[in-house]
Structure formats: structure tokens, C-alpha cells
A and B are shown apart, each in its own frame.
Chain A
Amino acid sequence: MSEPLSPWDRAQAAVTALAVDPAGLRGLWLRARSGPLRDRVVQALAALPLPQRRLHPGVDDATLYGGVDLSATLAHGHLVRAAGLLATPAAIVLTMAERCPAGLAARLARVLDDPGFCLIALDEGAEPDEALAPALADRLALFLDLDGIPAADTFPLDLPPETLALARARLSEVRIDPSAVETLTRLAAAMGITSLRAPLLTLATARALAAWRGETTPGEDTLRHAAELTLAHRGTLPDAADPEAAPPPPPEPDQPDSAEPETRQSADTPPDEMLLDAIRAALPPDLLARLAVARATRAAKGSGGSGDARKGNHRGRPLPPRPGTPGSGKRIDLVSTLRAAAPWQPLRRKTALIDKPGLHIRQSDLRLKRYVETSDRVLIFTVDASGSSALARLAEAKGAVELLLAQAYARRDHVALIAFRGQSAELLLPPTRSLVQTKRHLAGLPGGGGTPLAAGLQLGLLTALQTRARGMTPTIALLTDGRGNIALDGSANRAQAEADSQRLALALRNSGVPTLVIDIATRPQAALRELAARLDAPYLPLPRADAHRLSAVLGAAMEG
């Protein structure tokens, strides 16, 4: 068994495979900062048999799909069309791929489903939550991470065109062993990769590598290299997090299968375990963790549609028009365009090359409509009104709600209030902006009883989801002293209560609703810090808070 590929060997193998069969492999996710190594890889990609076209994440539809060449049209007085970047098969180079918006990712994913295209995503993600959109990552066969490769370990990437042409000619002759198909499928399943694109792309990579190496069927090494290049970054590698653990129980992909004897028959195929080891060695140890974080963050960001203030150009309060080119999503402001063109008419009529009736409008006259649209925010107070929570703190919380609401009126914020005490939680104040109503509700907030923390979290989550469905942006502020002792079903069972609140904390975190945990106990509580960590929420111990400080903290957190 040969050694796994060195990082730079892997880069060479990836570039080679892509150059042999760009359409079959669909592309490369290149995660690296801009630098000489990345330049070298990108330069080597010139060997691809496709024209290269560079895109940036802000590219608009007219550039992608073609449209009217506005300046030429205005100058010539008849319609001039420009071809889009995606009109013919090409190798698309997407720069700053980590910033690619969902809309562009969806379009590119659609294009990648057409034959002939291939995408090279240059991902410069530095923060853990930056990564390529999953819809694209799933479709690209190869992944390379160049960070941390010493320049001394590298060598020039040499791809002689004649050899590449030979390999391409051989490509259709490469036969895949049926047992290899099975091995790769099994391997992907063992790694917890649900997408069926992954093993198919591995197969394509194995085919390309085999053609390059002059094999008629991909050998064991070729299969292993293909798996390293295509599968390593996708899965959750079993035991990868803990390499020192004593011989781990081998991951049995076929455990749930009843067809045990049949799946064990082929002894000559490389065992999954060995392949897994090779793949594990192929990646920097923390990369998977980083990618997982990025996936989770993307998921939590959710629809990206509803919510925060955004400057759109569709609806909302109008902003002054700006010069620009109308195109995808940008609408022309006809009146201000005419106004901008008006003073120049006599001059232009005199100097015009072509004699035409009507107005002479140049590209520089065009003005676009802009609107700003803010969606309302909702601050959901989930207040512990139990006996353990000092009544004084409850009064402070009430004061903070009123203060926030007084400011909120100017900012169009809504406030909702949930109190939990005794055996259940109660929505005392549905999302509202009415200060009067709030004061009346708060005045009557009684305290005492057990601490049904789980019930409070559940009602908070439900309220948040409801407000979000109405197009608002919810934030939950949890004020408690952290001693949950009533389970969801109302029984005084401390263990069950703990389990319930943990489960709900997870659900809340998955829902992506921002949460603040404010500890109002006299001494900071470890249990609450833990809960905040579980919620991925800021933890603010406020033992000596008055209403003013509380409202300042909440205001700052919501702005952030």
C-alpha cells in the first residue's frame, strides 16, 4: 500500500483530473488565501480545454445570461445585444466564492447541471463561518485546501498538452470495475455522506486519473486518490476527531443491512477502513470542524429573505435615485433620467453623429430607483417569575421592558413578554408596540412558584417562529436565575426538566433565532452559562442591574 498523497501531490492530481475531464468532474473548490501557491494552481488550470470566464459574487443577470448592451444601443440608435458569460460551455472561475449569495449559487448550480460547464470556486474564507454555498459544494468533485503547505514542498505543475490530449482520448475507454462502484458507494455511506452525487463524482475522478495514468481500469491507488480528492471534505469522518483513541471500533457501514454475507464477499477490494485512513490523512485536522461550523452558520442564517433592514430596489420607502445601469432587479427611474438628460439636449442634437428624432439619452443619464425596506424587529422577553427569582429582579425586568419600548417606538420595534412560573409559561403580552397596553400587563405580573424553564423556552420559540412567519425579525431575551425544576409536562422532576430545557435549547439554536441569556441571580450561575453555550447565545450576568443598564445592554445586543 503506497503512502497517501502529499498535499502538493494532491493539488497536482486534482488539477490533472480536472484538466482531463472538466465536464465530468464539474469543478474544483479551492480553499486558499490569495498567494503564489494559489496562483500556481490557477495558472495550471489554463490547461483546461474550455475558455475561462471570471465571475465575482456581485455579478448580475445581464452579464450571466446576456442582455442589451445599453451604451452601444443608445449610441447607435438600434438594439445591440451582448452575449452572456454562460452562453457557451466554459470554465467559470468564481472569485471570493465564500461571499457568493444564495441567488447566484442557485443559478450556477443550475448551470452546472447542464453538460459542459465546470466551476472553479476560489474560496478565501478566513472566518470559520465563511464557506462555499452548499448547493455548489455538493456539485463540485474536487476540494483543495492550500493553506499551510510550505512552499519548499512544492514543485511546478506541469501538464503537457499532448499528454492531456492523449488522456482525453483514452477517457472513454476506461472501464470501471463493478466492485469498485460498490466499494466507493459503501465508502461514501460509511462516511455519512448522504448525497449520491459524491460517489458519482469520485467515479468520474477515478476515470480521469486512470486515463491520465494510462490504466484501462482504475487501480487501487487511483481509486484511493480519487476518494481522497472528492470525499474527504464532505463527510463526517468516523473517529477523525480523536486520533489517539485506542483502536477504534471499525465503522461498519453494513451493520443495519441484513444482507451481511453478501456484502462481505469481495475480499480483493480495498477495505473501507484503509481507504478511510487514507482520507483522514488527507486533510488538516481542524478543517472538517471548520467546515461543519460554516455549514451550521449558513443553515442558521436561514432564508436570508425575511428580516433585517436592507436596501432593496423593489419596495419600501424611496431613497434618492442613483446613476447606474438598469438590469437584474434594478429599475430605471424614468423621471429623474429624463431630468438628467434634459439640459444636454440642444448640445447633443448639434453634435450627434446620427440624426434621430426624440431625446438623446446617454448611459450616464440613466438613474435607478432605490428603496429602503426595514422589517420590524421583535424583542421577546422570556422572564422567570418564579419564587426563586428575586421579586426585585422581576421589577427591574419590567422597568427594562418599559424603557426599551419607549425607545422602540422611534425604531419601530415590537416587544412581547412571556412569563414562566408555577407549572407553565404564559404569553402575557403578544408582540405589540403599544406602551400603554404593556404597562397595564406588566403591572399585573405576579411572581412565585416553581421554575418551568423548559416551558418558557418552548413558548419563546413558538412566539419567535410565529413572528418570523409574519415577516418580523425576532430576538429572544431570556431573564432567569437558571434553576429549572419543572418539566414540560408540569411535573416537578428536576432531571426531566433539565433534559427538556436542553432539548429546547437545541431546537431554539437550530431555528436560528438570536437569543440573549441574562443571568439575574445574585451570583452568576454555571448552569446558565452552559445553557447559553448550548444556545450559542451571549451570556450576560447582571447581578446589580437596574432597569437602565438592562435596557442599554439589550439595546446594544440587538443592534449588534
Chain B
Amino acid sequence: MSQPFPFSAIVGQEAMKQAMVLTAIDPGIGGVLVFGDRGTGKSTAVRALAALLPEISAVDGCPVNSSRLEDVPVWANAVSGRITKRPTPVIDLPLGATEDRVVGALDIERALTRGEKAFEPGLLARANRGYLYIDEVNLLEDHIVDLLLDVAQSGENVVEREGLSIRHPARFVLVGSGNPEEGELRPQLLDRFGLSVEVTSPRDIETRVEVMRRRDAYENDNAAFMKKWRAKDSALRKAILAARAALPGLTTPGAVLHDCAALCIALGSDGLRGELTLLRAARAQSAFEGAPTVTRQHLKTVATSALSHRLRRDPLDEAGSGARVARILAETLP
């Protein structure tokens, strides 16, 4: 039971899985927001993603997972200098985590016992080059949201407190999940997520029964179950690595850029982040499919998740913004 549920064994929820794979291909997309009911496999998918992601090579003992020795921050000690493989970090940011825990703070233990001024890195340092997962992101305290907004944008964590003055890289993919019934997300934070997916419980009995079967097998016949799915997971991992390699060589025709802009204008999304994310996601999607150029079809595949959270809110629209994007998508890009 020590291994998480395999990513490829998750039944349905294709949009969520697709979004997570896209961020694994291009972390620059900027994260995934998964909103939906309880018990729809949100946390399962994130834990599974951690096991799916390829390992990264990092300096042994480096608190921010630097890939090269010269990138290790000066305040870090006990660094041996060897480069080791370690799993891509997927760090949980629990609700109610304090500012100190998130950004890091003066190491009180060492200050009191040894009289040294040392920095104790926080969750943001540990999440560098990996993922930061916030469950129930809509319930996050405002002052933590403020911190995240700044760091998620700049990719750097600046600590100026208690006589410390420290900065270190903090580039991570933000993954948030939550239940919209329990509270809204601040629009500023919403905008920082590259992709957003709405998950719902499967409606048809057959799918639900299949979920039950697989989970039951996972819990009660673990060895056989893991063996069955490990091959699929490693095929997916290979596909992600291949897509990463293919990404720089992709060509993006001008017509696709034009489509991006036309779609965002038709939707009336604020700012230009919509277009940029849409394009990045479409490129990642076409790399994943192994296509040499980005096409309109790729754009259409990712448009809903890249744009649905960037629309102006309409409190009376009960259909959800996903439906609005789909409608305008059909009108603008036939």
C-alpha cells in the first residue's frame, strides 16, 4: 500500500488527467486547478502524478533541488556536491500552514541553542522544480494567498524578516483542488493557474462500478494490481519525456496565433495571459500527440481548460463557464 494508486488506472476524468500531463510536459503552463465534488479522485490523481513523473537530477542535500552545484544557495549547508536522482517533489501545502512554514523563517532551534542566525527553508523551497499541491485551495487564508501570488509570478521567494535577507528560486507548478460550494477563489489566484478543470462524479453506473472494482483491487490485491498498471504508467512517462524533447522543435503557424487571439477576444477574457497559456497548452498537447506543427484541433482540445476560469463571472450562469467556452469555441473556430 506504500505506492500510490497508478495514474493510468484512474477511471474517466480525462480532462483532469490531460491537464496534469500537459503541465508535466511544459511546467511553464503554470499549474492546474481542479474544482469539483468530493470523492471524484482529485487527491488520488495528484498523488498518482507524483509517482508518474520522471526523476530529476539535483545536488545532494540542496534544499531547493538545484540541478547544478553553482545554483545551490549560499545559505545552504551540508551540501556534498554530488548530483543524485530524486523523485520530482510534490509538496503538500496544508490549509492553515503558517507564513513561516511556507516561505521559511529564522531557525529558532539553532538560534536558541547555538546562537546562530540560520535560515530554515519552507515549503516553497522544497517545491522548487516540482509541484506545490494545495487541497481545498479556496479555503486558503488570504495572507498565504498573497504570498503565493507573488512567488508564483516571479518564480523567486524573497524573505526579509527577523534580520534575514534571503532569496531563492521557487519555480513550481501550482496544483489546487477544491469544492466550489465551500467558497470562491480570489480572482487573482484563479488567474495564476494555467489550466482549470471541473470534475464531476461519473453519472453512469458502469463507470462507477469500474471505479469501485479498481479501487477494491488496489486495496485488496495490491501486488497483482500494481503489476498490471505499472507498464501503462511507464509508457505514459516515456510519452511525457518524448513530448518534452519534441517541444522546442515544434512550429507554430501564424494562423494558430490568429485563432488564439480571435478566441480570447470573442470570450472577452481579461489580460493577455489567456492567449499565452492557450498557446503553451496547445503546443504541449501537439508535442504529446507527436505532431510536427500546432493545429487548430490542438487549440480546440485545450481551449476549455485554458480559458474557462478567465471569463468574467456571471452570478446567474448556472451552466458553468465551461459550457460558455465550448459554445463560443464552436462559433469562433468552426
Contacts and interface: CB of A to CB of B under 8 A. Distances in A.
B109 interface: yes
A195 B98 contact: no
Contact of B208 (A79, A138, A185, A334): A185
B47 A305 contact: no
Contact of A196 (B39, B109, B183): B39
Contacts of B145: 305
Contact of B139 (A78, A107, A196, A304): A304
A283 interface: no
A86 to B, nearest CB: 12
A380 interface: no
Given A194-B37, A200-B212, A115 B141 contact: no
B316 A135 contact: no
A376 to B, nearest CB: 13
B215 A200 contact: yes
B1 A138 contact: no
Interface stretch (A33-41, A225-233, A256-264, A444-452): A256-264
Contacts of A199: 208, 212
B70 interface: no
A279 to B, nearest CB: 18
B100 A331 contact: yes
A61 B38 CA distance: 25
Given A176-B216, A257-B204, A196 B182 contact: no
Interface in A301-352: 302-306, 312, 314-315, 326, 328-329, 331-332, 334
> Which of A176, A181, A305, A458: most chain B CB closer than 10 A?
A305
A106 B96 contact: yes
Given A24-B219, A186-B205, A462-B315, A106 B94 contact: yes
A101 B96 contact: yes
A381 to B, nearest CB: 19
B313 A465 contact: yes
A115 B94 contact: no
Nearest to B211: A196
B105 to A, nearest CB: 8
A102 B139 contact: yes
A372 interface: no
A254 B213 CA distance: 19
A203 interface: yes
A101 B38 CA distance: 18
Contacts of B41: 196
Contacts of B203: 256
Interface in A176-190: 176, 178, 181-182, 184-186, 188-189
B143 interface: yes
B212 A203 contact: yes
Interface stretch (A146-154, A503-511, A549-557): A503-511
A189 B208 contact: yes
B297 interface: no
Interface in A274-308: 298-299, 302-306
Contact of B113 (A77, A101, A302): A77
B38 A135 contact: yes
Contact of A189 (B95, B115, B205): B205
A304 B315 CA distance: 21
A481 to B, nearest CB: 24
Contacts of A135: 38, 136
A61 B123 CA distance: 14
Contact of A103 (B95, B143, B162, B220): B95
B201 interface: yes
B316 A458 contact: yes
A318 to B, nearest CB: 15
A182 B37 contact: no
A104 B96 contact: yes
B57 interface: no
Given A106-B135, A194-B40, A115 B1 contact: yes
B206 interface: yes
A73 B47 contact: no
B94 A181 contact: no
B138 A303 contact: yes
A551 B203 CA distance: 51
A125 interface: no
A73 B216 contact: no
Contact of A303 (B40, B94, B143, B184): B184
B41 to A, nearest CB: 7
Contacts of A195: 37-40, 201
B208 A504 contact: no
B331 interface: no
Interface in A483-507: 503-504, 507
Interface string B59-101: 0000000000000000000000000000000001011111111
A507 B215 contact: no
Contact of A138 (B38, B47, B142): B38
Given A184-B212, A303-B184, A107 B143 contact: no
Contacts of A194: 37-40, 200-201
A172 interface: yes
A200 B183 contact: no
A200 B216 contact: yes
A358 interface: yes
A253 interface: yes
A558 to B, nearest CB: 21
B43 A107 contact: no
A107 B96 contact: yes
Contact of A302 (B101, B183, B220): B183
Contacts of A77: 113
A198 interface: yes
Interface string A4-36: 000000000000000000001000000000000
A285 to B, nearest CB: 25
B140 interface: yes
A233 B206 CA distance: 24
B286 to A, nearest CB: 33
Interface in A67-125: 68, 73-74, 77-79, 101-107, 109-110, 113, 115
A504 B37 contact: no
Nearest to B143: A314
Contacts of A306: 142
A301 to B, nearest CB: 8
Contact of A110 (B135, B143, B313): B135
B253 interface: no
Contacts of A107: 94-96
B319 interface: no
A52 B10 CA distance: 34
A410 interface: no
Contacts of A172: 220
A263 B207 CA distance: 13
B160 interface: no
A210 interface: no
A392 interface: no
Interface of B: 1-2, 37-41, 43, 47, 92, 94-101, 105, 108-109, 112-113, 115, 135-136, 138-143, 145, 162, 179, 181-184, 186-187, 200-206, 208-209, 211-213, 215-216, 219-220, 313, 315-316
Given A182-B209, A195-B39, A328-B98, 11 more contacts: A107-B96, A176-B216, A188-B208, A257-B204, A257-B205, A299-B183, A302-B184, A305-B141, A331-B105, A469-B186, A469-B187
20 contacts: A61-B98, A78-B113, A103-B97, A106-B96, A113-B43, A135-B38, A181-B216, A184-B212, A196-B215, A197-B38, A200-B215, A253-B205, A263-B205, A304-B183, A314-B143, A328-B96, A329-B96, A469-B186, A504-B315, A511-B315
Interface of A: 24, 61, 68, 73-74, 77-79, 101-107, 109-110, 113, 115, 134-135, 138, 172, 176, 178, 181-182, 184-186, 188-189, 194-200, 203-204, 253-254, 256-257, 259, 263, 298-299, 302-306, 312, 314-315, 326, 328-329, 331-332, 334, 358, 361, 458, 461-462, 465, 469, 471, 503-504, 507, 511
Closest 4 CB pairs of A and B: A103-B96, A195-B39, A106-B95, A329-B98
